[in-house]
């Protein structure tokens, strides 16, 4: 099928996109100039004349609204299974089967059923009641950081969401570092196109999938048998399973994605956000002067430097975006980071502005697949930034910002390390709000 209004091939742009998708740090350090080139190339840019890239806000949201034709799909192609041994292909099959049990990989009635069951655990009153515990966790972690003149904020950034989810789900605090290691191994196999996944990464991910499944099975069994450790959140999930809304495998997949969504997205939301504030000092000072702006700050920080930079969909039939026909069974790349910087949607999009009146980002997705834990993530961000500015108003990056290294990953944007000097401590703020 010939696609209407198909963009002209740009070999130079294709080469830059190839580097980005392969995790070339020369591009991933700052992908936003590349995003603008893609937006300017047309409403739909055909990478290598075969993969449509959606980089503008209006087209991205229109695509997500059309969940009947644009389906979630990951599949095994990214592993290039034809090059693998029989044993490694079997490992790939197990990884893909594990992913298929997570609601973000489901479509249609199956997705609606699983999401509706899991949503019961994320009722707004339950999230709101959790704020005091989140605030206590934030202050405890900052107490540890304050013991040193210079600390790596990224340790705080990964420990906060995993600490919160461990309390939410009744997991031992001692398991946090192990869960991070397992999550890192699984996240390492999520590039969608570009580059080649090494056999070593596949095997590590497979082992981590097995360990995660074992961990979740043991956790569910513990909660079923011992009401003393069962949290209200887990009670809601177990009720969903016992009511035949979730199968045992679907329950495990739901718990797994909830654990790792907190690890992958919230960690980088916090790190990216603090980096953005401290490198835009006027905005940091604005938040210091009025910490009640923290809700608006979280929204703008998510727009400005999204923790997840892109997602994929696959068409199940021919679909049209901005006059461009996309044939069925076509994999589509949606650039969150680009859509959030679309000058057609946002005034002066490359500037951080906590007073921005329009910050309707798509950093948590959009439509039926919007992140189910987004309310909890926003709570963590609001409490963290509010507490940071109240306790440590003089905080600064303890390095040349230009020397900081971003993860060489096209999907998950985050810093490897963010050394900060906290400065004077005004004391704990557990009781604010």
For the chain, what percent of residues have pLDDT higher than 70? 95
56-111 pLDDT per residue, tens: 999 999 999 999 999 998 878 888 899 999 999 999 999 999 989 888 889 999 99
What are 156's two structure tokens?
Answer: 């705080």
pLDDT of 152 over the 90 cut: yes
More confident residue, 228 or 192: 228
pLDDT of 283 over the 70 cut: yes
Structural domains of the chain ordered from first start: 71-309+365-421 (1.10.630.10)
220-235 pLDDT per residue, tens: 899 889 888 888 888 8
Per-residue pLDDT band for 265 (boundaries 50, 70, 90) equals confident
Q: pLDDT value at position 1?
A: 40
387-423 pLDDT per residue, tens: 999 999 999 999 999 999 999 889 999 999 999 999 9
User: Is residue 389 a contact partner of residue 11, using CB atoms and an 8 Å limit?
Assistant: no
User: Which residue has 């991070």 as its token pair?
Assistant: 180
Per-residue pLDDT band for 359 (boundaries 50, 70, 90) equals confident
Q: pLDDT value at position 2?
A: 42
98-131 pLDDT per residue, tens: 989 888 889 999 999 889 888 888 888 888 888 9
Q: pLDDT value at position 77?
A: 83
Pairing of strands 310-315, 331-335: antiparallel
Mean pLDDT across the stretch 197-225? 92
User: Is residue 286 a contact partner of residue 354, using CB atoms and an 8 Å limit?
Assistant: yes
Query: Count of alpha carbons within 13 Å of 77, Cβ hemisphere only?
Result: 9
Q: pLDDT value at position 122?
A: 81
In this predicted structure, which of 145-149, 175-179, 271-275, 378-382 has the lowest mean pLDDT?
175-179
């Amino acid at each position: 099928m010939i696609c209407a209004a198909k963009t002209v091939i740009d070999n130079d742009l294709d080469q830059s996109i190839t580097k980005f998708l392969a995790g070339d740090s020369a591009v991933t350090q700052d992908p936003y100039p590349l995003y603008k080139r893609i937006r300017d190339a047309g409403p739909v840019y055909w990478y290598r004349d075969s993969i449509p890239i959606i980089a503008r806000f209006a087209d991205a949201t229109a695509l997500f609204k059309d969940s009947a034709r644009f389906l979630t799909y990951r599949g095994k192609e990214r592993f290039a299974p034809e090059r693998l041994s029989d044993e490694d292909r079997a490992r790939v099959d197990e990884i893909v089967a594990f992913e298929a049990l997570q609601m973000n990989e489901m479509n249609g009635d199956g997705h609606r059923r699983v999401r509706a069951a899991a949503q019961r655990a994320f009722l707004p009153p339950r999230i709101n009641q959790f704020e005091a515990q989140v605030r206590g966790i934030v202050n405890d972690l900052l107490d540890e950081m304050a013991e040193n003149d210079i600390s790596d904020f990224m340790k705080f950034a990964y420990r906060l969401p995993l600490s919160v989810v461990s309390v939410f789900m009744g997991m031992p605090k001692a398991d946090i570092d192990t869960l991070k290691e397992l999550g890192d191994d699984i996240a390492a196999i999520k590039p969608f196109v570009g580059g080649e996944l090494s056999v070593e990464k596949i095997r590590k991910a497979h082992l981590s999938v097995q360990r995660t499944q074992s961990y979740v099975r043991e956790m569910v069994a513990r909660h079923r048998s011992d009401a003393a450790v069962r949290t209200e959140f887990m009670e809601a999930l177990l009720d969903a399973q016992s009511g035949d809304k979730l199968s045992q495998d679907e329950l495990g997949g739901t718990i797994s994605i909830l654990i790792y969504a907190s690890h992958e997205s919230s960690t980088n939301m916090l790190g990216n956000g603090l980096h953005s504030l401290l490198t835009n000092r006027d905005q940091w000072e604005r938040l210091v002067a009025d910490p009640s702006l923290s809700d608006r700050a979280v929204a703008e920080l998510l727009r400005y430097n999204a923790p997840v930079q892109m997602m994929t969909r696959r068409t199940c039939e021919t679909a049209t975006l901005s006059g461009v026909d996309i044939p069925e069974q076509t994999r589509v790349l949606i650039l969150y980071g680009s859509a959030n910087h679309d000058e057609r949607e946002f005034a002066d999009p490359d500037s951080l502005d906590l007073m921005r009146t329009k910050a309707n980002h798509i950093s948590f997705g959009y439509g039926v697949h919007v992140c189910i834990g987004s309310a909890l993530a926003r709570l963590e961000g609001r409490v963290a930034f509010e507490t940071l500015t109240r306790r440590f108003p003089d905080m600064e990056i303890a390095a040349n910002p230009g020397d900081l290294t971003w993860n060489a990953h096209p999907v998950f944007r985050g810093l490897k390390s963010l050394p900060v000097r906290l400065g004077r401590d005004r004391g704990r703020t557990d009781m604010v709000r």
